[in-house]
Amino acid sequence: MNVVVAPESSNSAIGRRIRVMIVDDAVVVRGLFGRWVEAEPDLEVVASLRTGREAVNQVERADPDVVVLDVDMPELDGIAALPLLLEKKRDLVVIMASTLTRRNAEISLKALSLGATDYIPKPASNREVTGSPSFRRDLIEKIRQLGLRSKRLRLGNLHARIPGAGAAPAPQLKPRTPPQPIALRPLPATAPRVLVIGSSTGGPQALNAIVSKIGSVLDRAPVLITQHMPPTFTTILAEHLARLTKRPAREAVEGEEVNAGTIYLAPGGRHMSVVRRDGIAVIALDDGPLVNFCKPAVDPLFSSAAEVWGPKVLGLVLTGMGSDGLRGAQAIAAAGGSILAQDEPTSVVWGMPGQVAHAGLCSAVLPLDEIAPRLTRLFAGDKA
């Protein structure tokens, strides 16, 4: 059965390595993921399990920070195990892992709505998994970033429950520099006419929360979205956004005209830009190299939108790892457009929005539930 469980030590959780549980019915995958995790000095494997049932039975004893959970497994699959795992450990980070089929894409996106933190698409064969340095990098970075955020939140909550702890600084995983004040730019004098959005980890949940509440914006403007996602996943996301908004929402098509009332989503595996042809703004798709380790990437969309629409563009940077969108946001600001960013407490990872915020490019940094109302007011011409 190849079950490996490391018991929790009696040491304090403060400063410990990120504890990882790997759940996959393929022994080759479990072994490979385990070696990758153990090669990182700040990560450790505390359980390597074959089925969702074993994961549910072992989660309290192993006490992982992060679970990498396969979708397809015998006895109890990933989607069935997910709520049972979260019931036993509410602050658990669960990363769903699945191959790129339509069924698995639908299951992975459904898992996000059920409490999974993120997903990672696995290459189709064990040989491809073994020979993909980009997949290894993505998996380790997701485990690290999401695990660190979970630990900080947990330690902050623990500190808040300690009697008399209010006068002392909250325990930290490591020394952190004091947060720097964020300088905000004034909003342009004219109302925006185009909305471009960049998002990554946590993005599907954030997009759902926003686009369902900006019907009046869609009536006035086109909405173009780059979400870091592979093929098939973007197809499912576009279909979901169409059902949610009751507006046309689709993966963008090369050469199609950009019109108000439609949501255009960058297709997985291709960069989306905008160009003017015969005075008309149209979609341009690019199968070129990765940008910021991503394809699609946010920077090509934002930079091209700045060239085509100038001060009429409003860029929105949502939750995500890394710095994709920073150069594009700089281009929008330089062209006289405006940038909004999601704030840190409501972001799954405050990488992308944090980068543009600390660069002084934003006119507002907002909690997720305040973004849609602010967009509605801005596109109506109200700067408040």
- Give pLDDT, residue 179: 64
- Give pLDDT, residue 176: 53
pLDDT tens per residue, range 76-112 = 999 999 999 999 999 999 999 988 889 989 999 999 9
Q: Partners of 250 in the beta sheet?
A: 264
253-254-260-262 Cα dihedral, nearest 10 degrees: 10
- Give pLDDT, residue 142: 96
Specify the range with the lowest mean pLDDT, choosing from 131-135, 152-156, 198-202: 152-156
| Radius of gyration of the chain measured on its C-alpha atoms | 21
- Give pLDDT, residue 157: 54
pLDDT tens per residue, range 102-146 = 998 999 999 999 999 999 998 877 777 777 888 999 999 999 999
- The catalytic residues are 200, 228, 324
CA 367, 246, 215: angle at the middle one, nearest 5? 45
- Give pLDDT, residue 243: 96
Q: What is the mean pLDDT of the chain?
A: 90
- Share of residues in the chain with pLDDT > 70 (%): 89
- Give pLDDT, residue 178: 56
pLDDT tens per residue, range 51-77 = 999 999 999 999 999 999 999 998 899
Pairing of strands 280-286, 271-277: antiparallel
Is the pTM higher than 0.95? The answer reads: no
Give CA–CA dist 2/31, Å, rounded.
10
Domains with residue ranges and CATH for the chain: 4-157 (3.40.50.2300), 194-379 (3.40.50.180)
Nearest to 381 by CA among 217, 262, 183, 207: 217
- Give pLDDT, residue 282: 98
pLDDT tens per residue, range 258-317 = 999 999 999 999 999 999 999 999 999 999 999 999 999 999 999 999 999 999 999 999
